[in-house]
C-alpha cells in the first residue's frame, strides 16, 4: 500500500484483527477461501493487547506477591522486593510474543494483511463489496470481496462528565501501562474489569476505593460469589461503596476527585473508570449500506452471523451475547464456516466464563436465581475446596463448586464456583454439557487423584445426595 489505489479481489475481507477477526481469517484460509484482513493497530485486539492477556500477567504476579507476603506454612521469607517496571516490561514482552505470533500465523496461512482503517464503500455487482483502507501514514487503498466480516470489537465507555484525561482519570487501557503503582486509586464500576484491577493493584500495595452504582459488586455473578468477593475485598481493606451514583470526576493538579450525586467527595492519585464498553461500529460504512443496528450500534445477525445484508457478517463484541474473547472467536469460526458453505448455526447455550480475582471465579450455563431456571425444577450439588485433598495440599482451602442439575434426567444445566483454578474445572463441565452429559456421565469418568478436578464429580453427585466424600443429612439417600 503506497499512496495509490489498487484493486484486489478476495473471497472474504475481515475488518478487525482481534480474537473474532484473526480467528475468522485463519479459519477462512483453513477452509480454502482467499482472505484479506484489515487491522489498524496490532493483531490480537483488546484481548491480547489491552485485556485478557496483559491483565493475566499482572494477575499472576499479584498472586505470587500474595504468596510472598503470606507464605505457605513452614516458610518464613526474610524480605523481598519487586520492580513494577520490570513486571510491565515482561507483560509487554508476552503481548509482543503473542501478537507477532498471530501475524506470523496469518502470513503462514497466506491471509493478506492490510494495516489501516477499513470501511465498506458499497457493492459493485460481480466485483462484490469494495472496502477502503486508510493507513496512519495517509496512504489509502481499496480492495473488493464477495463477503465482509465486521469484527471491530469494543472500547472503554466514556461519559463526558467523567472527564477521562488518560493521565489521572484513566481507563483499563492506561491502567495496564502504568510504570508505577499509584498510592491510591478510586475504581468507578465494580464489574469484571473493576474487580480484576482492584485485586491486582491492592496486592501491590495501592489503597483502593470502589464506587458501584448497583447494590452489590460483581452483580452479574452468582449472589453467593458476589458476597464472597465483597468479604474478601473488605478483609484486604478494599473499600467498596455500593448503590452510589457518580455525578462528576475532575482532574486535580495531583490526582483526581470524584463527586457523588449526594455531594460526597472522594479523591485519589488516580481514578479508573470501568463502567462498561462501547461498540466500535461507527465509521465502518455499515449504516450507509443498510446493515441493521440498534441505538447502541449493536449489529443484528442471524444464526450464521450474517447481517440483513447478504454477504456482510459480524462477529464478537459488536453483536449479541457477552463480550468475551472466546465467544468472539467462536463467532468468527461460525461466519468463516458458513461463508465456506459449511452450514452451522451458532449456539451460546454452553458458554463458560471466568473472572480473575483471587480466588478466581468460573461459570457455565445456568445458576441458581437465573431467569432460565424460574420455570424449571432443579437441584444444586455443592462441594468445598476444604474437602479436597489436592486443595489442602496446595494450601488453597477457600472456595466451592456448585452444579445445577435437572432432577428427572440428572442432566447438567450449569455450574459456578470460586476457588483456585476453578476456570479449569468449569472447562471440564462445559465439555459434559456440550454433549448433554448427566451426573452419571461425570461419575463414570475416572478422575485422576489427587487433582482439583475430583471436586467436579463430588459436586455433581451431591445434587442427588450421593457424593462420596461428603455426608449431607438433608440430601443423603436413605438406606
Ligand atoms: P461490566 O458491565 O462488567 O461492569 C460495569 C460496572 O459498572 C457494573 O457493575 C455497573 O453497575 C457499574 N456502573 C455503570 N455505570 C456506573 C456509574 N456511573 N457509576 C458507578 N458504577 C457504574 O463492565 P466492565 O467491567 O467495564 O467490563 C466490560 C466487559 O468486558 C464485560 O462485559 C466483560 O464481559 C468483559 N470482560 C471480561 C473479562 C473476563 O472474562 N475475565 C475480564 C474483563 C472484561
pLDDT single digits (tens) 334-365: 999 999 999 999 999 999 999 999 999 999 99
Selection from 391, 394, 409, 408 nearest residue 456 by Cα: 391
Q: Across residues 245-269, what is the average pLDDT? A: 97
Task: Give the CATH fold of the 5-155+279-339 domain.
Answer: FAD/NAD(P)-binding domain (3.50.50)
Give me the pLDDT at residue 6, please.
Answer: 59
Q: Do domains 5-155+279-339 and 359-462 have the same CATH topology?
A: no
Question: pLDDT tens digit string along 81-134?
Answer: 999 999 999 999 999 999 999 999 999 999 999 999 999 999 988 889 999 999
pLDDT given at position 478: 57
What pLDDT, on a 0 to 100 scale, did the predictor assign at position 479? Answer: 47
Q: Which atom of ligand 1 is nearest to the CA of 355?
A: 41
Handedness of CA 231, 232, 237, 243 (dihedral sign): negative
Ligand 1 centre and the CA of 357: distance in Å? 14
Q: Could you tell me the pLDDT band of residue 5, with boundaries at 50, 70 and 90?
A: low
Whether 323 is in the pocket of ligand 1, judged by its Cβ within 6 Å, is yes
Residue of 52, 54, 189, 241 best suited for mutating to test ligand 1, as the one with most atoms within 8 Å of CB? 189
Does residue 326 carry a catalytic annotation? no
Q: What is the mean pLDDT of residues 10-35?
A: 98
Atom of ligand 1 nearest to the CA of 193: 25
Q: What is the mean pLDDT of residues 36-47?
A: 97
Does 3 have pLDDT greater than 50? no
- Mutation test residue for ligand 1: of 52, 193, 210, the one with most atoms within 8 Å of CB: 193
Q: Which residue from 343, 326, 324, 319 is spatially nearest to 149, judged by alpha carbons?
A: 319
Hey, which CATH number is domain 359-462, 3.30.230.80, 3.40.50.300, 3.30.750.24, 3.30.390.30? 3.30.390.30
Domain ranges for the chain = 5-155+279-339, 160-275, 359-462
> Strand ranges (DSSP E) for 6-77?
9-15, 35-39
Percent of the chain scoring above 90 in pLDDT: 94
**Cα separation, 473 vs 479, whole angstroms:** 12
Q: What is the mean pLDDT of the chain?
A: 96
The pLDDT of residue 304 is above 90: yes
Please give the angle made by the CA atoms of 368, 475 and 427, to the nearest 5 degrees.
45
Please tell me the predicted confidence (pLDDT) of residue 477: 63
pTM of the model: 0.95
Cα–Cα distance between 118 and 131 in angstroms, integer?
Answer: 6
**Catalytic residue among 166, 326, 449, 469, which?**
449
Site to substitute for ligand 1 among 171, 241, 275, most atoms within 8 A of C-beta: 275
Cβ–ligand 1 distance for 277 under 6 Å, the answer: yes
pLDDT in tens, 137-152: 999 999 999 999 999 9
Q: Determine the pLDDT at residue 440.
A: 98
Hey, whose CA ends up nearest to atom 31 of ligand 1?
323
pLDDT of residue 2: 43
Lowest mean pLDDT among 65-79, 173-187, 358-372: 358-372
Q: Residue 145: beta bridge partners?
A: 10, 129
Distances (CA, A) of 296 to 82, 317, 319, 473: 43, 12, 11, 51
CATH number of 160-275: 3.50.50.60
Choose among 13, 38, 21, 18: nearest CA to 332.
21
Torsions phi, psi of 433, nearest 5? -65, -40
Q: Is the CB of 210 inside a 6 Å radius of any atom of ligand 1?
A: no
Query: Alpha helices of 109-191 — where are they, by DSSP H?
Result: 172-175
**Residue 218 C-alpha to ligand 1 middle, in angstroms?**
8
pLDDT, tens digit, 9 for 90 and up, residues 377-411: 899 999 999 999 999 999 999 999 999 999 999 99
* Residues making up the chain, counted from first to last: 479
Which protein residue has the closest C-alpha to ligand 1 atom 41? 355
Amino acid at each position: 500500500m503506497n499512496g495509490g489505489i489498487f484493486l484486489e479481489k478476495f473471497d472474504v475481507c475481515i475488518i478487525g484483527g482481534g480474537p473474532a477477526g484473526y480467528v475468522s481469517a485463519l479459519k477462512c484460509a483453513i477452509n480454502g477461501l482467499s482472505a484479506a484482513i484489515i487491522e489498524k493497530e496490532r493483531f490480537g485486539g483488546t484481548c491480547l493487547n489491552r485485556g485478557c492477556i496483559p491483565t493475566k500477567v499482572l494477575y499472576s504476579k499479584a498472586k505470587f506477591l500474595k504468596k510472598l507476603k503470606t507464605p505457605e506454612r513452614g516458610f518464613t521469607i526474610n524480605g523481598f522486593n519487586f520492580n513494577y517496571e520490570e513486571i510491565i516490561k515482561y507483560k509487554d514482552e508476552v503481548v509482543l510474543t503473542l501478537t507477532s505470533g498471530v501475524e506470523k500465523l496469518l502470513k503462514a496461512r497466506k491471509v493478506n494483511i492490510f494495516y489501516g482503517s477499513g470501511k465498506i464503500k458499497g457493492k459493485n455487482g460481480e466485483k462484490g463489496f469494495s472496502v477502503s483502507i486508510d493507513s496512519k501514514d495517509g496512504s489509502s487503498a481499496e480492495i473488493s470481496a464477495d463477503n465482509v466480516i465486521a469484527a471491530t470489537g469494543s472500547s472503554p465507555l466514556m461519559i463526558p462528565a467523567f472527564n477521562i484525561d488518560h493521565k489521572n482519570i484513566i481507563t483499563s487501557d492506561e491502567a495496564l501501562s502504568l510504570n508505577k503503582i499509584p498510592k491510591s486509586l478510586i475504581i468507578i464500576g465494580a464489574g469484571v474489569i473493576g474487580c480484576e484491577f482492584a485485586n491486582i493493584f491492592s496486592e501491590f500495595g495501592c489503597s483502593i476505593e470502589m464506587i458501584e452504582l448497583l447494590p452489590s459488586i460483581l452483580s452479574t455473578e452468582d449472589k453467593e460469589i458476589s458476597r464472597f468477593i465483597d468479604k474478601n475485598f473488605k478483609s484486604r481493606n478494599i473499600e467498596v461503596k455500593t448503590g452510589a451514583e457518580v455525578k462528576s470526576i475532575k482532574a486535580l493538579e495531583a490526582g483526581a476527585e470524584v463527586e457523588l450525586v449526594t455531594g460526597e467527595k472522594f479523591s485519589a492519585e488516580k481514578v479508573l473508570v470501568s463502567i462498561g464498553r462501547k461498540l466500535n461500529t461507527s465509521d465502518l460504512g455499515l449504516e450507509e449500506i443498510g446493515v441493521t443496528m440498534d441505538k447502541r450500534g449493536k449489529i443484528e445477525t442471524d444464526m450464521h452471523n450474517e447481517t440483513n445484508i447478504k454477504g456482510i457478517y459480524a462477529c464478537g463484541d459488536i453483536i449479541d451475547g457477552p463480550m468475551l474473547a472466546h465467544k468472539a472467536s467462536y463467532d468468527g469460526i461460525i461466519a468463516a464456516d458458513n461463508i465456506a458453505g459449511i452450514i452451522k448455526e451458532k449456539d451460546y447455550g454452553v458458554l463458560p466464563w471466568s473472572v480473575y480475582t483471587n480466588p478466581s471465579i468460573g461459570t457455565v450455563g445456568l445458576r441458581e436465581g437465573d431467569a432460565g431456571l424460574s420455570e424449571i425444577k432443579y437441584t444444586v450439588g455443592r462441594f468445598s475446596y476444604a474437602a479436597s485433598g489436592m486443595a489442602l495440599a496446595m494450601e488453597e482451602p477457600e472456595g466451592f463448586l456448585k452444579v445445577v442439575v435437572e432432577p428427572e434426567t440428572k442432566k447438567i444445566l450449569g455450574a459456578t464456583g470460586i476457588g483456585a483454578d476453578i476456570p479449569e474445572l468449569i472447562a471440564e463441565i462445559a465439555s459434559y454439557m456440550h454433549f448433554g452429559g448427566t451426573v452419571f456421565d461425570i461419575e463414570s469418568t475416572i478422575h485422576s487423584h489427587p487433582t482439583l478436578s475430583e471436586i467436579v464429580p463430588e459436586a455433581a453427585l451431591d445434587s442427588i445426595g450421593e457424593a462420596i466424600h461428603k455426608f449431607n443429612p438433608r440430601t443423603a439417600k436413605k438406606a
